[in-house]
Homo-oligomer: A and B are copies of this chain.
Amino acid sequence: IGGLVLCLKTATFCPTLVMTHICVSCQLPITCFILEIILIILFGTLVQYDHETDAKQWHNQSHEDYENDFYFRYPSFQDVHVMIFIGFGFLMTFLQRYGFSSVGFNFLIAAFALQWATLMQGFFHGLHGGKIHIGVESMINADFCTGSVLISFGAVLGKTSPVQLLVMAMFEVTLFAVNEFILLSILGTRDAGGSMTIHTFGAYFGLMVTRVLYRPNLDKSKHRNCSVYHSDLFAMIGTIYLWMFWPSFNSAITAHGDDQHRTAMNTYYSLAACTLSTYGMSALTAHDGKLDMVHIQNAALAGGVAVGTAGEMMLTPFGSMIVGFLAGVISVLGFKYLSPILEDKLKIQDTCGVHNLHGMPGVLGAIVGAVTAALASTDVYGGGLSDVFPDVASGDVTATKQGGIQAASLAVTLGIALLGGLIVGFILKLPIFGAPPDTICFEDSIYWEVSCEIIILYILYFFQSDLQQTHHHTQLSARWIKTT
């Protein structure tokens, strides 16, 4: 009952909080307007339609309409889009009093990041006469980069202001584009579903940021850092959408034809196997055999992360299921045993457990990708080798060397993520960005107009039942009326 009392008592802060954060009233609007105006100017000077979206260029060439890349990728793009905005957004609504911020800040930083990512990725992926050319593939890539930022958001969830998040997104998108450029363009790494570029990068970047932003007194908000019945159901909306559309995520930018088809199918079976191992491990490790919603909401998705690199390869459904099975196991173990250690020993306060969902499964995915690449041969891939491993098909590298490149890419990604997170973490520590105090983390009402009726009911209740035992009814009831 102590926890409950604490939980209810803190709700009384609600009215007083209203007063404390005036600063936000100028910071957030200024940040939004400046960022968007910069984006608009840069788009005006740098961005052009590519040859599939430009009316003149498309009609200058001889095509059939159905050859436009739109029809190969747009359904996948929309699935990815749902994962970014509904999937990530609602997955984080599990917190009882942070639903508006989870969905709302997810919405804000994703809308910013996808525009900024268009510019950064366009800049690194090659300019065309000084211009960035965009189409459905660049839109998918922008959403992918945004996904990485949202993973980092999961690590710092509840402890950062929207201005901090926008600043983090700005730096992280830039570093993401640098890392992606090094991997895909310089090293020739294959990573269509982003086990390394998206998940490993986003997770370790976010973990380092949250390490730098360590709050020794976060316990003061601990009672709010938990779920209630309906908030867990909202979170399941996010989980299920991520789970269903992960095949589209991993296959969205693979080569047309058999590659997209195979990638989607490998991911489908990996996720199915992961779900069974997650349920098994959750019941095995949890208190008296009960299932834990935290595991189901997160670990069941690890199978998608872990075939992000190898999904487009000839991993076979058999291989995909083994990888998915292992991903579920290590993810639940991470939630159960590793997360408390990370928090206690390494001072990493990882709100959503992104290390367990994106970090470790991402590393697993990178390793699986390296091994699968090293085993590639014309015997298995036939004429399709040039789609999956163009450098191997052209004879520039051997399959073994490609495997080595894949492994080296993991190290590069970890290095850039950790170093970048360290620097960005210190930038975010600057007091000007208005981080919430330790006592009111995981709380919507400092950033949002929140109707207080339910909280009030709780408070009233608590006080009253308390009073009736202590026979001080009149005074306390009066106090409540005063504070409202």
Q: In the complex, which of the residues B111, B243, B256, B280 contacts A272, with contact meaning CB atoms closer than 8 Å?
A: B111
Q: Which residues of B contact A240 (CB under 8 A)?
A: 85-86, 89, 103, 107
Cβ-based interface call for A325 (8 A): yes
Cβ-based interface call for A53 (8 A): yes
User: Scoring A residues 228 to 253 as 1 if CB is less than 8 Å from chain B, else 0, what string do you get?
Assistant: 11101110110011011101100000
Cβ–Cβ contact B72 & A75, under 8 A: no
Given contact pairs A103-B240, A468-B477, A261 touches B53 in the complex (Cβ within 8 A):
yes
Interface of A is mostly: helix
Interface size, chain A (Cβ < 8 Å): 157
* Of A19-27, A210-218, A346-354, the one touching chain B: A19-27
**Copies of this chain, count:** 3
Cβ–Cβ contact A1 & B385, under 8 A: no
Cβ-based interface call for A481 (8 A): yes
Given contact pairs A280-B36, A325-B40, A52 touches B244 in the complex (Cβ within 8 A):
no
Q: Which residues of B contact A457 (CB under 8 A)?
A: 458, 461
Question: Would you give the shortest CB distance from A443 to chain B, in whole angstroms?
Answer: 12
Cβ–Cβ contact B115 & A269, under 8 A: yes
Q: In the complex, which of the residues B229, B256, B484 contacts A451, with contact meaning CB atoms closer than 8 Å?
A: B229
Cβ–Cβ contact A85 & B139, under 8 A: no
Q: Which residues of B contact A108 (CB under 8 A)?
A: 275-276, 279
Q: Which residues of B contact A54 (CB under 8 A)?
A: 258, 262, 314
> Complex formed: what's the CA distance from A71 to B259 in Å?
12
Cβ–Cβ contact A289 & B25, under 8 A: yes
Question: Would you give the shortest CB distance from A483 to chain B, in whole angstroms?
Answer: 10
Identify 26 residue pairs between A and B in the complex whose beta-carbon atoms are under 8 Å apart, listed by A's number. A4-B456, A22-B289, A25-B283, A26-B289, A43-B321, A49-B314, A52-B261, A53-B258, A55-B314, A55-B380, A55-B388, A65-B256, A70-B261, A82-B244, A86-B244, A89-B240, A99-B229, A103-B236, A103-B240, A104-B296, A107-B296, A108-B275, A134-B317, A228-B451, A292-B448, A460-B461
New A-B pairs, 20, CB < 8 Å, besides A55-B314, A70-B261 = A4-B453, A4-B484, A53-B258, A53-B261, A55-B380, A55-B383, A59-B382, A60-B382, A63-B257, A66-B66, A66-B67, A85-B244, A100-B232, A103-B240, A115-B272, A139-B268, A232-B451, A291-B447, A292-B449, A293-B448
